[in-house]
Structure 1
Amino acid sequence: MKDTKALNIPTLSGNLCNQNLLQAAQQFQTPLFVYDFNQIAQKYEQLKLAFGGRKMLICYALKANSNLSVIKKLATLESGADCVSLGEIKRSIIAGIPAYKIIYSGVGKQDYEIQEALKIGILFINIESKEELLRIEKIAKTMNINARISIRVNPDINAQTHPYISTGLKENKFGVSIEEAKSLYLYAHNSKVLEPIGIHFHIGSQLTKLTPIEESAQKIASLAHSLLALKINLKFFDIGGGIGITYNDETAINPYDYAQAILETLRGLDMTIICEPGRFIVGNSGVFLTKVLLEKENQDKRFIIVDGAMNDLIRPSLYNAYHQIIPLKDTKAHQSLADVVGPICESGDYLGKNIALPKLERGDILAILSVGAYGFSMSSNYNTRTKCAEVAIEDGKLRLIRKRESFEDLIALEKDYL
């Protein structure tokens, strides 16, 4: 067996130990998401400390995990919020993040969302196109209000990550080219209602190579220098998010090395750094618990059928993503390869393929690791399955932070129209 410590493979430890997880499964039933709030705080502080005394604002990316209690925990640590919908902006406000620490990104903002964001008074809106810039200008004029903006610049750098989560190439839908960005900044600078205060890039998610980030920062820093020379008063340098985590045996980027690479590119720029981590903060802090229903074999193929499914955790089906799967029982017994699959009527309904597992019995609990990001937030009600409960564990104590959906919750918006 491989030495998991040498390979830095995620394992159960700290708050997320067998005893606590078995207690959570018994108390709140399965399938279930459990989050280690102490680890979430630790990851936030680790990134903050990496940048030392430099002026910076960490804006947690809500899309990774938008549970109100998770956001509130980060708000107490003085985090800001990176939002991609009006709903996420409202979640941030409810959870205690001040409006002046909220940024709003995304390629398809609707008029009512822009209006509400301006009314709330968020820090700035990230512009994704010329058409959007003109639309925001028109809305701001109608509202008789100034619109603080940043422009998302596409550096055309290969992030070396999964193509579905790569966002920094010219064929991706996000941002504008460096050449177009220059003209948009000049236009905004001369507008009576647009106030360009930031510059932004984000090349992708689950980044494990530092070079593409450094190259992108260098390109955008050069653009920032030229814009400042034109008296465009930029105050914020938004480096996006995307720092990867270890799911299997990846070597994650060291936060200190990440910070130093960014700071090196910003020599001579007196701007506040904005960082938008999501997965880095919550990814390894979450575990998905699922109960074994039965084992079966089709010829030589072994299947472990569990009560969790692709509607609960879609990453394996969607990205062919790998998650460590650990039984909460003695693992010293003989192991053989098995697919861990759910009850959904799809061949793509699996949580892991060819996983080495011991013989399992009905009722045994499996812990699926590193699901704090893009786990619950991407879940659905496919096959009329109710969404899981979510539980926080902090200082060894469990508490419910989202109750399990009931069938009545599921049909509440439909039954009155029969």
Structure 2
Amino acid sequence: MTVFAPPPQMIPDSWLTRREGTVYAEEVPLAVVAGAIGTPFYAYSALALRSNYAALEQVLSPLGVSICFAVKANSNVNVLAEFAALGCGMDIVSGGEMARALAAGTPPGRIIFSGVGKTRPEITAALRAGLHQINVESAAELEAVAAAARDLGLRAPVVLRVNPDVDAKTHAKITTARRDSKFGIAATDVPGLYAAGATRPELEMLGLAVHIGSQVLDLAPFRQAWAALAQMVRGLRAAGHSVARLDLGGGLGIGDADHPGPDLVGYARAIRETVGDLDLALTVEPGRWLCGRAGALVTEVVYLKPGAHGDLAIVDAAMNDLMRPALYEARHPVLTLHPPRGAVDAQPCRLVGPICESSDDFGSYQGLGRLAPADLLAFTHAGAYGATMSSTYNSRDLIPEVLVMGERFRVIRARAGIETALRLETPGAWQSIGEGSLSV
């Protein structure tokens, strides 16, 4: 049994503070928000979002590196608007994410379209919108982009995503650059495909891209991948091709008390030492690093139950609200919103949700003290891949989201209950397949 044991009273993020036993998000007690809108819910700090972006920009701007937020990490349009207002671009992987990025005020020229399965309508919409570039991940996709551009009478800005066969040393489900990955184009195939694309009048071949995975805590895989791209750029240029852009991808991880995240100065140094001398327009695509530590999931204890290895606390948040523990075996730090009662080093308490799945289990924790029904808990480091992956499994409500700013908070995604779900399932009119047609 794995037990997550943060130090007692640990407050992992500067926007969360404990004052006289009460946990505040900026200047708002989280218990007050819970009383106003109910639990579970996500809370984000506007201050933390802005501070994270400023810290990353400070080390990257001297290198001329542009930042595009990976929208898949947190696609709430209000969160995107916080970044867009700071000049941040967006990295998208669907037409829906493009609509969100544009609605948040991101100029089309600051949006990059990634992803292995872009549909023809999505490609057409991206070209019409005038996005910065399309990161192409296969020869078949390059043909689709060329066809769409030809039909529109446009020239498509194309970057080829390379699969450099680099192990990011992270969880298998979020590693994206090994040889057997579905992502990117094999390094050996890139020169030929780049050369072929350069002959097409409907394509503007601009450069290369790479993304090795998510939650990367070691800078060595970044260096390995970027060095491979630098060598490829030199080879393409030696063959007479123009290479103007390099998309270095995202994946910069966030640490915890036991495993600190990568040093930003070291991250910038790795960029400078691998690709900084190539006279290229450079871009990075962080997601989790910008928003992960800026969010928390607040939940209420419903029942306590004795278990074989300690007590179980059944909470009202579930795997449909926070999928990462079930999907990636992730463990999020947990805070009690009240002062811990009794000995904090007592037997571990296992936090589980109400869904009818054994995987609806957040893990065993020490340091929480004695819990009681109606206690409020906060899973921290939950601003990335939390709400954006949430669902209504078991016909549960779609979880609400709240943005905190100073002494104020506001709901930025309303709770969507069963009434909303049933309205979506109102049956339409029967449609005839026509006389003489085969029925199935």
Distance 2:179 2:309 in 1: 46
Q: Which runs of 5+ in 2 are unaligned?
A: 430-440
Shift of 1:399: 1.4
Total equivalences in the alignment: 415
Residue matched to 2:53: 44
Aligned ranges 1:110-189 → 2 under 5 Å: 110-189=119-198
Residue matched to 1:412: 423
Distance 2:381 2:103 in 1: 27
Shift of 1:247: 4.1
1:71 to 65, 74, 80: 80
- The 1:2–1:360 alpha-carbon spacing in structure 2 relative to 1, beyond 3 Å, is closer
Query: Is 1:230 aligned to 2:252, yes or no?
Result: no
Residue matched to 1:386: 397
- The 1:248–1:313 alpha-carbon spacing in structure 2 relative to 1, beyond 3 Å, is farther
Residue 183 of structure 2 aligns with an amino acid whose one-letter code is F
Residue 305 of structure 1 aligns with an amino acid whose one-letter code is I
1:306-337: per-residue Cα shift (whole Å, max 9, x none)?
A: 11100000111111111111111112522321
2:208 to 199, 220, 223: 199
Residue matched to 2:322: 313
Answer yes or no: is the 8 Å Cα contact 2:13–2:294 preserved in 1. no
Residue matched to 1:59: 68
Answer yes or no: is the 8 Å Cα contact 1:128–1:176 preserved in 2. yes
Query: Is 1:366 aligned to 2:367, yes or no?
Result: no
Residue matched to 1:270: 279
Runs of 4+ in 1 over 3 A off after TM superposition: 1-5, 298-301
Residue 421 of structure 2 aligns with an amino acid whose one-letter code is L
1:302 to 311, 317, 327: 311
Distance 2:5 2:313 in 1: 23
Answer yes or no: is the 8 Å Cα contact 2:11–2:17 preserved in 1. no
Task: Give the 3-state SS of the residue equivalent to 1:336 in structure 2.
Answer: coil
- The 1:247–1:382 alpha-carbon spacing in structure 2 relative to 1, beyond 3 Å, is farther
Residue matched to 2:111: 102
Q: Which runs of 5+ in 1 are unaligned?
A: none
Residue matched to 1:211: 220
- The 1:10–1:330 alpha-carbon spacing in structure 2 relative to 1, beyond 3 Å, is closer
Residue matched to 1:328: 337
Answer yes or no: is the 8 Å Cα contact 1:105–1:126 preserved in 2. yes
Answer yes or no: is the 8 Å Cα contact 2:6–2:366 preserved in 1. no
1:130-180: per-residue Cα shift (whole Å, max 9, x none)?
A: 111112112211221111010000111111000000001111100012221
Distance 1:313 1:36 in 2: 18
Answer yes or no: is the 8 Å Cα contact 1:325–1:352 preserved in 2. no
Distance 1:81 1:13 in 2: 26
1:324-366: per-residue Cα shift (whole Å, max 9, x none)?
A: 1111111252232111111111111112224443222221100
1:234-254: per-residue Cα shift (whole Å, max 9, x none)?
A: 222110000000245212101
Distance 2:173 2:195 in 1: 33
Task: Give the 3-state SS of the residue equivalent to 1:311 in structure 2.
Answer: coil
Task: Give the 3-state SS of the residue equivalent to 1:24 in structure 2.
Answer: helix
Answer yes or no: is the 8 Å Cα contact 2:63–2:276 preserved in 1. no
Answer yes or no: is the 8 Å Cα contact 1:15–1:395 preserved in 2. no
Answer yes or no: is the 8 Å Cα contact 1:15–1:396 preserved in 2. no
Distance 2:338 2:275 in 1: 50
Answer yes or no: is the 8 Å Cα contact 1:10–1:324 preserved in 2. no
Residue 369 of structure 1 aligns with an amino acid whose one-letter code is T
Residue matched to 1:337: 348
Answer yes or no: is the 8 Å Cα contact 1:325–1:355 preserved in 2. no
Q: What is the TM-score when the length of structure 2 is the normalising length?
A: 0.91
Task: Give the 3-state SS of the residue equivalent to 2:358 in structure 1.
Answer: coil
Residue matched to 2:437: none
Q: What is the TM-score when the length of structure 1 is the normalising length?
A: 0.95
Query: Is 1:80 aligned to 2:81, yes or no?
Result: no
Distance 1:358 1:417 in 2: 53
1:402 to 407, 413, 419: 413
Residue matched to 1:27: 36
Distance 2:223 2:14 in 1: 33
Answer yes or no: is the 8 Å Cα contact 2:209–2:248 preserved in 1. yes
1:86-119: per-residue Cα shift (whole Å, max 9, x none)?
A: 0001100000000000010111111111111111
CA RMSD of aligned residues (A): 1.8
Answer yes or no: is the 8 Å Cα contact 1:10–1:370 preserved in 2. no
Task: Give the 3-state SS of the residue equivalent to 2:424 in structure 1.
Answer: coil
Residue 39 of structure 1 aligns with an amino acid whose one-letter code is A
Residue 133 of structure 1 aligns with an amino acid whose one-letter code is L
Distance 2:216 2:397 in 1: 32
Distance 1:169 1:234 in 2: 24
- The 1:10–1:147 alpha-carbon spacing in structure 2 relative to 1, beyond 3 Å, is farther
Answer yes or no: is the 8 Å Cα contact 2:13–2:293 preserved in 1. no
Answer yes or no: is the 8 Å Cα contact 2:43–2:404 preserved in 1. yes
Residue matched to 1:348: 359
2:388 to 361, 369, 377: 377
Shift of 1:83: 0.2
Task: Give the 3-state SS of the residue equivalent to 1:312 in structure 2.
Answer: coil
Answer yes or no: is the 8 Å Cα contact 2:91–2:114 preserved in 1. yes
Aligned ranges 1:275-294 → 2 under 5 Å: 275-294=284-303
